[in-house]
Amino acid sequence: MALTYTSREQIEVYRFSLPVTLIVPLLAVFLQVFLPLRFPFFAIFDLPLLVVIFFAMARRSQVAGLVTGAAIGLLQDSLAGATHPLGLYGIAKTVVGYGASSLGVKLDVESVGTRFLVVIGFDVIHELIYFLIARGMVRLNLHWNWGHELESAFANAILAVFLFALMDRLKDRA
């Protein structure tokens, strides 16, 4: 559970092959729109968010992180229905991508505990940004529910621990 600070020299930067860079986000978005049909409880997870956090922390590049976040977020927006404006997930995930890569530079994000806490934090930040923009700009009548948001954050963090361990196999050392 300990958060370990690392010096620049200790930081390992990873990269991903082109197929992985393209297929994993697409697969995450695909599963996010497909699985809730068969398993309604799955709607509590946000697989694209986990992929953004993982890629951003592994690459440790803020620009790469925000671009990944924006691309995945906009893809998710475009599948969320004609009444859902493009940009809501885009903006939220851009910020998360930037933040996760910034954190990846400063923290050892390889440990399970760190990943768990980081995902909880970014999940709440993501929902908060989404909520503020949806309420403030788009005038959607959303209600903030701390209980639900924390439940969702914990569920995503637990999933992230296993998912990140699986995705570690896709990393190439830069």
Partner 1 sequence: MGRYRNVSFLAAAIFLQILGLAVQVKSPGENHPARLIRVWAVSTITPFEKGLVRVQNGASDLWHNYFYLRGVRQENRELRDQIEQLQIEQVRMKQDADQAHRLQSLLGFKEQFIARTLAAQVIGSSGSEQSRTVTIDRGSRDGIQPDMAVISATGVVGKVISVLNKSTAQVLLINDQQSGVGTILEQSRLQGVLKGKSSGELVIDKIMPDEEVKPGDRVLTSGGDQIFPKGLIVGTVDKIEKGPEFLQITVKPAAALNRLEEVLIIVKKEERDPTLTSTHVRASDILAERLPSVPDKPPVPTSAGGATTQTHAPQTPHVAHVQPVTASSGIPGQMKSVAVPVPGIAQPASTPVPNATGTAVGTKPANPSSAQASKPAVKQSGTATSKPLQASPAAQPQPSTQPTPSNSGDTPQ
Residue among 89 and 116 whose Cβ is closer to partner 1: 89
> Of 98, 85, 99, which is closest to residue 130 (Cα–Cα)?
85
Contact criterion met (CB below 8 Å) for 98 and 65: yes
Q: Is 130 within 8 Å of 90 (Cβ atoms)?
A: no
Q: Is 5 exposed, middle or buried (0-12, 13-18, 19+ CB in 10 A)?
A: exposed
| Residue 62 within binding range of partner 1, rule CB under 8 A | yes
Task: Show the binding pattern over residues 72-91: x = contacts partner 1 (CB under 8 A), - = does not.
Answer: --xxx-xxxxxxxxxxxxxx
Instruction: State the nearest-atom distance from the C-beta of 14 to partner 1, in Å.
Output: 19
Q: Which stretch binds partner 1 (CB under 8 A): 11-19, 49-57, 67-75, 162-170?
A: 67-75
Place of tokens 């599963």: 31
For partner 1, the closer of residues 1 and 82 by Cβ is 82
- For residues 165 and 45, what is the distance between their CA atoms, to the nearest angstrom? 17
The footprint of partner 1 (CB under 8 A) covers 26, 29-30, 32-34, 36-37, 40, 43-44, 62-63, 66-67, 70, 74-76, 78-91, 94-95, 98, 130, 133-134, 137-143, 145
